[in-house]
Copies of this chain bind each other. A is one copy, B any other.
Amino acid sequence: MTKRPRYFNLEPIMNPKSIAVIGASDNPDKIGHVILANNVASGFRGAIYPININASGTIMGYTAYKSILDVKEKVDLAVVAVPAEVVPKVVEECGRAGVRGIIVVSGGFSEVGRKDLQDKVTRSGMKYNIPIIGPNCLGVTDSYSKIDTLFLPAAKIDKPVVGGVSFASQSGAVGSSVLDMIDNEGFGLARFISYGNAAVVDEVDILNYLADDEKTKVIVFYIEGVQRGKEFIEAAKRAALKKPIVVSKGGMTDEGAKAAHSHTAALAGSHQAYEAVFKQFGFIMADDIQELLNLSKIFETQPLPKGRRIAILTNGGGTGVLATDALYEHGLQIAEMSKKTVESLRKVMPPIVNVRLPLDMAGDAEKTRFEAALAAFEADPKIDAIIAIALFQTPGADENVAAKLVEYGTKMRKPMVVVSPGGSYTKRQRQIIEKGGVPVYESPGEAAKALAALASYAEYRDSHVKKSR
């Protein structure tokens, strides 16, 4: 087998000027139809070439071709959605046609014991030096280039807004669930890559690409197994100095690893080894799907803290108690307020408010008390970050409080997260705050865990960026 480059450039896949959809069809039940339709709907502006062995005339209004070899113009990206048996031939033709990137969405390869078919795809990729994503994947969607190869019914999945989080997933299922949840979590997407069996393009290529990508502020990964261990470590080291990497690893137990092997034929390797590598390079590890989202969103909008001294403000005592517990459970600590802060708060808060941290501003706290606390905490050099608990069930907490939380959560040079558990009224306030750019959590524990991840990454950056100079 020809030697592969150290890593493939994914630019022709993520930002193509022209795409061919191989297996395109006018029949709406065909995957090739959905992919074609989605790219048209997503606003992709480049040239589109439908390819189908049975084609004559047009497909969905575009001139159709029987083979990629019949297209005279330069094709950047070919998306392949034909039966597995036919894929090797199609990929080989793409190579001969000078296509610059390929996505094979079709399944039926290593994951069902057809390693022979997958090896042919790998060989073509190496021979022609083409990055190939897949097989057995959903492909990619990109908020900037508008490329979209996901063959999921549009009515069933919420489209995220444009943002700074890029998400790569070996599993299409985990990928599409997370993608569907992003909008509700109030953060935005840069690139999404579902890479399946990783016949050519693997974690190493993706990590390198996203590390250098200016639109990507946070890299998020769902991984089942890494094949090029040494190169992965190298890429991880380089990427982690540039931006935070949140990772969830499927197959962290023996039985889970067996399931992963049957799923994407991933070589799961020892969990301890993975964990050691992730820890060494300051990766943020998420156990579960919701946690992956919780840990990702804080990195998109919040600055890194200078330390672990946290101020909690709340309009409900019990939630302040739980938040305090959660801080210590996650290695953070309650800040000590400076004298100036204490004095300024004493002036504003009513006598029943005990001016200590956590600051319980009482159930009738409204905009004024919230603002006084936020302003004092912003100015206090002994406070590194803020957890603002806003219980919107109370009489005083309303859209004015939400607006203050957005104002301070976006202008301060220290990180802030909001905790707002509740039902429909609370959800509306939560949306205002999140759309405003401040992460909101349902539980104090989730907020503390996210802040702790931010603090840990800050410490990793501090020690390693200096070292590497």
The smallest C-beta distance from A410 to any residue of chain B, in angstroms, reads: 25
Q: Please tell me which stretch of A15-23, A206-214, A248-256 contacts chain B, meaning at least 4 of its Cβ atoms lie within 8 angstroms of it.
A: A248-256
Please tell me if A11 contacts chain B, counting CB pairs below 8 Å: no
- Which one, A62-70, A338-346, A418-426, is touching chain B? A418-426
Q: Report whether B423 and A171 are in contact in the complex, using a CB–CB cutoff of 8 Å.
A: no
A289, B444: Cβ atoms closer than 8 Å: yes
> Looking across the interface, which residue of chain B has its beta carbon closest to that of A326?
B288
Give the contact stretch, choosing among A42-50, A234-242, A300-308, A352-360. Answer: A352-360
In the complex, A269 has a CB within 8 A of chain B = no
How many residues of A are counted as interface, with CB atoms below 8 angstroms from the partner's CB atoms?
Answer: 85
A161 at the A/B interface (Cβ < 8 Å)?
no
Task: Report how many copies the assembly holds.
Answer: 2
Cβ-defined contact, A173 with B259, below 8 A: no
Given A421-B180, A426-B180, A444-B289, CB of A169 within 8 Å of CB of B318: yes
A315 within 8 A of B: yes
**Is A155 on the interface with B (CB-CB < 8 A)?**
yes
Indicate if A61 sits at the interface (CB-CB under 8 A): no
Interface residues of chain A, those whose CB is within 8 Å of chain B, are 107-108, 111-112, 152-153, 155-158, 169-181, 183-184, 222, 224, 248, 250-256, 258-260, 262-264, 287-291, 314-322, 324-329, 333-334, 352, 354, 356, 358, 360, 363, 391-395, 421-426, 442-446
Known: A156-B393, A288-B444, A291-B445; 17 extra A-B contacts, CB below 8 A, are A112-B354, A153-B395, A156-B394, A156-B395, A157-B425, A172-B318, A174-B318, A177-B391, A177-B393, A252-B329, A254-B328, A255-B324, A259-B358, A263-B321, A287-B445, A288-B446, A289-B445
